[in-house]
Chain A
Amino acid sequence: MAALLRPPVMFERAINAFWILLGAAAAAYAWTLGLIGASGPESGLFPFLAGLIIMGAGVVLLLRSASENIVPDFPRGDALWRVLGVIAGLAFMAISIPFLGFAVAGFITMVILLRTVEKSSWWFSLALALVAIVVVVWLFGRILGMALPRGPWGW
Chain B
Amino acid sequence: MEAIGGLLTGFGIIVTLDNLFFCLLGSLIGTLVGVLPGVGPLAALALLLPITFTMTPVGGMVMLASIFYGAMYGGSTTSILLNIPGEAASVVTCLDGHQMAKQGRAGAALGIAAIGSFVAGTLGVIVMTFFAPTIAAVAIRFGPPENFALMVLGIVCTLFMITGSPVKGALMVALGFLTAAVGIDVVNGRERFTFGSIDLSAGIELLAVVIGLFGVTEVLNNVERIVKSTLIAERIRGLWPTLADWKASWRPMLRGSGLGFLLGLVPGGGPVTASFMSYALEKRLSAHPDGFGKGAIEGVAGPESANNAAVAGSIIPVLSLGIPSNAVTALLLGALVIHGVQPGPLFITQRPDLFWGIVASMYVGNVLLLLLNLPLVGLWVQFLRIPYRVLFPVVLLLSIVGVYSANKNVFDLWVMLGFGVAGYVLSKLKYDLAPFVIAFVLAPLLEQSLRQSLAMSPDGAMILVQRPATALMLVSSAILVALMARRKPKGGS
Report the separation of the CA atoms of residues A73 and B192 in the bound assembly, to the nearest whole angstrom.
37
Of B192, B223, B414, the most chain A CB neighbours within 10 A belong to B223
Main secondary structure of the interface of A (DSSP, over half): helix
- CB distance B192 to A57 under 8 Å? no
- Cβ contacts under 8 Å, A117 to chain B: 223, 389, 392-393
Q: Given A43-B188, A61-B167, A114-B389, is A12 in contact with B397 using a C-beta cutoff of 8 Å?
A: no
- CB distance B410 to A40 under 8 Å? no
Interface residues of B in 44-66 (CB under 8 A from A): 44, 47-48, 50-51
- CB distance B175 to A50 under 8 Å? yes
Instruction: Mark B187-213 against chain A: 1 for CB-CB distance below 8 A, else 0.
Output: 110101100000000000000000000
Category for how many chain B residues contact A: 35 or more
- Cβ contacts under 8 Å, B451 to chain A: 39-41
Q: Given A97-B410, A120-B389, A144-B48, is A50 in contact with B396 using a C-beta cutoff of 8 Å?
A: no
Interface residues of B in 389-435 (CB under 8 A from A): 389-390, 392-394, 396-398, 400-401, 404-405, 410, 413-414, 416-417, 420-421, 424-425, 428-430
- Nearest CB in chain A: distance from B37 CB, A: 12
B459 in the interface, Cβ–Cβ < 8 Å? no
- The 8 Å CB contact of B168, one of A29, A51, A61, is A61
B2 in the interface, Cβ–Cβ < 8 Å? no
- Cβ contacts under 8 Å, A93 to chain B: 400, 413
Report the separation of the CA atoms of residues A136 and B170 in the bound assembly, to the nearest whole angstrom.
40
- CB distance B417 to A94 under 8 Å? yes
Instruction: Mark A53-66 against chain B: 1 for CB-CB distance below 8 A, else 0.
Output: 11001101100100
Report the separation of the CA atoms of residues A101 and B185 in the bound assembly, to the nearest whole angstrom.
34
- The 8 Å CB contact of A145, one of B47, B178, B227, B401, is B47
Of A39, A86, A129, the most chain B CB neighbours within 10 A belong to A86
B450 in the interface, Cβ–Cβ < 8 Å? yes
Name B50's closest neighbour in chain A (CB-CB). A145
Name A54's closest neighbour in chain B (CB-CB). B174
- CB distance B417 to A91 under 8 Å? yes
- CB distance A46 to B443 under 8 Å? yes
Report the separation of the CA atoms of residues A129 and B390 in the bound assembly, to the nearest whole angstrom.
10
- Cβ contacts under 8 Å, B396 to chain A: 86, 89-90, 113
- CB distance B168 to A46 under 8 Å? no
A74 in the interface, Cβ–Cβ < 8 Å? yes
Report the separation of the CA atoms of residues A90 and B167 in the bound assembly, to the nearest whole angstrom.
32
Chain A residues in contact with chain B, CB under 8 A? 12, 15, 19, 23, 26, 29-30, 33, 39-44, 46-47, 49-51, 53-54, 57-58, 60-61, 64, 70, 72-75, 79, 82-83, 85-87, 89-91, 93-94, 97-98, 102, 106, 109-110, 113-114, 117-118, 120, 128-129, 132-133, 136, 140, 144-146, 148-149
- CB distance B192 to A83 under 8 Å? no
- The 8 Å CB contact of B177, one of A50, A72, A120, is A50
- The 8 Å CB contact of B220, one of A33, A83, A106, is A83
- CB distance A87 to B421 under 8 Å? yes
- Nearest CB in chain A: distance from B364 CB, A: 23
How many cross-chain pairs have Cβ atoms below 8 Å apart between A and B? Answer: 165
Report the separation of the CA atoms of residues A54 and B172 in the bound assembly, to the nearest whole angstrom.
8
Report the separation of the CA atoms of residues A89 and B220 in the bound assembly, to the nearest whole angstrom.
12
In the A-B complex, list the 6 residue pairs whose CB atoms are closest, starting with the nearest. A118-B389, A40-B454, A53-B174, A57-B171, A72-B428, A50-B177
- Cβ contacts under 8 Å, B398 to chain A: 136
B447 in the interface, Cβ–Cβ < 8 Å? yes
B228 in the interface, Cβ–Cβ < 8 Å? yes
- Nearest CB in chain A: distance from B475 CB, A: 22
Would you list 11 pairs from A and B whose C-beta atoms are within 8 A, ordered by A residue? Answer: A15-B425, A29-B193, A43-B188, A44-B192, A47-B178, A54-B171, A61-B168, A70-B429, A93-B413, A97-B410, A132-B397
B455 in the interface, Cβ–Cβ < 8 Å? yes
- Cβ contacts under 8 Å, B219 to chain A: 86
Report the separation of the CA atoms of residues A58 and B431 in the bound assembly, to the nearest whole angstrom.
13
- CB distance A73 to B168 under 8 Å? no
- Nearest CB in chain B: distance from A31 CB, A: 12
Q: Given A26-B178, A113-B396, A140-B401, is A87 in contact with B220 using a C-beta cutoff of 8 Å?
A: yes
- CB distance B401 to A90 under 8 Å? no
For the complex with contacts A58-B171, A79-B225, A145-B50, 16 further pairs of A-B residues with Cβ separation under 8 Å are A23-B174, A40-B455, A43-B185, A50-B174, A50-B177, A57-B170, A57-B171, A82-B223, A90-B416, A90-B417, A90-B420, A110-B394, A114-B390, A129-B393, A145-B51, A148-B404
B254 in the interface, Cβ–Cβ < 8 Å? no
- Cβ contacts under 8 Å, A128 to chain B: 390, 393-394
Name A113's closest neighbour in chain B (CB-CB). B393
- Nearest CB in chain A: distance from B474 CB, A: 17
Name B429's closest neighbour in chain A (CB-CB). A72
- CB distance A145 to B175 under 8 Å? no
- Cβ contacts under 8 Å, B223 to chain A: 79, 82-83, 85-86, 117
- The 8 Å CB contact of B193, one of A47, A54, A94, A102, is A47
- Nearest CB in chain B: distance from A141 CB, A: 10
- Nearest CB in chain A: distance from B68 CB, A: 15
- Cβ contacts under 8 Å, A54 to chain B: 171, 174-175, 178
Report the separation of the CA atoms of residues A67 and B399 in the bound assembly, to the nearest whole angstrom.
40
Instruction: Mark B333-370 against chain A: 1 for CB-CB distance below 8 A, else 0.
Output: 00000000000000000000000000000000000000
- CB distance B47 to A118 under 8 Å? no
- Nearest CB in chain B: distance from A80 CB, A: 8
Report the separation of the CA atoms of residues A106 and B400 in the bound assembly, to the nearest whole angstrom.
9
Report the separation of the CA atoms of residues A54 and B181 in the bound assembly, to the nearest whole angstrom.
14
- Cβ contacts under 8 Å, B216 to chain A: 86, 90
- Nearest CB in chain B: distance from A36 CB, A: 10
- Cβ contacts under 8 Å, A102 to chain B: 401, 404
